[in-house]
Chain A
Amino acid sequence: MTLLRLLFIAGLVLVAGRALALIETYEFSTPELEARYQQLSEELRCPKCQNQNIADSNAPIAQDLRRLLHQQLELGASDEEILNYMVARYGEFVRYRPRFGGATVALWLAPVLLLLAGIAVLLLTLRSRSKTAVSGTATLSAQEQARLRSLLEKAEQDS
């Protein structure tokens, strides 16, 4: 029984080792650098896989970029310098938060414009609806009131 349990634990350890082997670990001189590494690797997009950041991706290029990121952080580069370095090589594409300007103007402005358009449509709809509501309560002419009365009386007599 103990042998079985030992084998089971040994198996788990082996599997865990394999899972860990997929992600390389880096040593950082300060915890602050490590925090910036985490933040930047989540903000940089993997050029190969496109829908993953370099922290998530296992593509060779993402591994290279992580190694580079670690190197540059340890060399004392600022976030801005690192992002500029990446953008110079892989284009604005490589940032999940591209800077404002050029081709990214549409990207930044579209949500605001769509929101404004939505509000405009909403206001127009509400206004036209309140207009019809007003015309709905318009008073009846004397002739119409007489007809209404006669209809009501007729209905009463029928019942």
Chain B
Amino acid sequence: MGPRLKLFLPLLLFALLAITLFRGLGLDPGAMPSALLDRPLPAFSLPGLGRTDLLSEADVVGQAALLNVWATWCVSCRVEHPYLKQLAEQGVPIFGINYKDDDGAAQRWLDELGNPYRFNIADREGTLGLDLGVYGAPETYLLDTNGVVRYRHAGVVDEKVWQTILEPLYRELHKGSNAP
């Protein structure tokens, strides 16, 4: 390297650093890939909300579906709720995990605000949440037809999240299940 070119070295390093840091600004520091990604849903045996029978992973597996972790104490879940109802009306199967919640309060919530869920798993102690790696509500898992976790979204599912991330994946999985 000539002595003239060497003078540009600090500028070059600065530009590199600036580009790296600028990229970092656009990243979400809270985003954390699920440890369950591309692994099957953990086994569980928990009561259903408002039901007397026990539910297990076999009840959820069979179609591309969303698994939504929610609770009445979770403020963002209330924000998310109307959009989940919209998705359910479009025919997207949604299963609920009522996470560390009171059954009575959860049932009242569904009665008052509407019920987008096929059924709800009552995870009162948060044991299923722990096996899933849930660290807060709401969280939404996208399952494929074999019950393998294909995506985890931590936070509110709204129109933007659905259209940009979840829907393309869901359509692909859904199409795959219809193929012979």
Q: Name A residues whose Cβ lies closer than 8 Å to a Cβ of B.
A: 47-48, 50, 59-61, 64, 68, 87-91, 93
Determine if B35 and A68 form an interchain contact, defined as CB atoms under 8 angstroms apart: no
Report how many residues on chain B are interfacial, defined by Cβ distance under 8 Å: 16
Q: Which single residue of chain B is at the shortest CB-CB distance from A88?
A: B35
Residue in B30, B34, B130, B131 whose CB lies within 8 Å of A91: B34
With a CB–CB cut-off of 8 A, which chain B residues contact A93?
32
A interface footprint on B25-68 (CB within 8 Å = 1, 0 otherwise): 00001101111100000000000000000000000000000000
Among residues of A, the one whose C-beta sits closest to the C-beta of B32 is: A93
Of all chain A residues, the one with the shortest Cβ separation from B100 is A60
Residues of B within 8 A of A47 (CB): 32, 133, 135
**A47-B32, A50-B30, A64-B126 known; A91-B133 Cβ under 8 A:** yes
Residues of A contacting B132 in the complex (Cβ-Cβ under 8 angstroms): 89
B135 touches A61 (CB 8 A): yes
One of A48, A59, A64 near B130 (C-beta < 8 A): A64
- The answer to whether A48 touches B136, judged by C-beta atoms less than 8 angstroms apart, is yes
Chain A residues, Cβ within 8 Å of B135: 47-48, 61, 90
10 new A-B contacts, CB < 8 A, other than A61-B136, A91-B34, are A47-B32, A60-B100, A61-B135, A64-B126, A68-B130, A89-B35, A89-B131, A89-B133, A90-B133, A91-B35
A93 to B36, CA, bound (A): 13
Residues on the A chain within 8 Å of B100, using CB: 60
Interface pair A87/B35, CB less than 8 Å apart: yes
Q: How far is the CB of B148 from chain A (nearest CB, A)?
A: 16
- Most A CB contacts (10 A, CB to CB) among B32, B100, B126, B135 go to B135
Known: A48-B136, A61-B135, A68-B130. A90 touches B30 (CB 8 A): no
Chain B residues in 8 Å Cβ range of A61: 134-136
B158 to nearest A CB, angstroms? 21
- Count chain A CB atoms within 10 A of each CB in B33, B100, B133 and give the residue with the most: B133
Complex Cα–Cα for A63 and B70 (A):
19
Residues of B within 8 A of A68 (CB): 130
With both beta carbons as reference points, the residue of chain A lying nearest to B132 in the complex is identified as A89
CB neighbours (8 Å) of A50 from chain B are: 29-30
Q: Output the least CB separation between A104 and chain B (Å).
A: 13
Residues on A with beta carbons closer than 8 Å to the beta carbon of B134:
61
Chain A residue at minimal CB-CB distance from B30:
A50
Alpha-carbon separation in the docked complex, A87 to B33 (Å): 12
Q: How far is the CB of B42 from chain A (nearest CB, A)?
A: 9
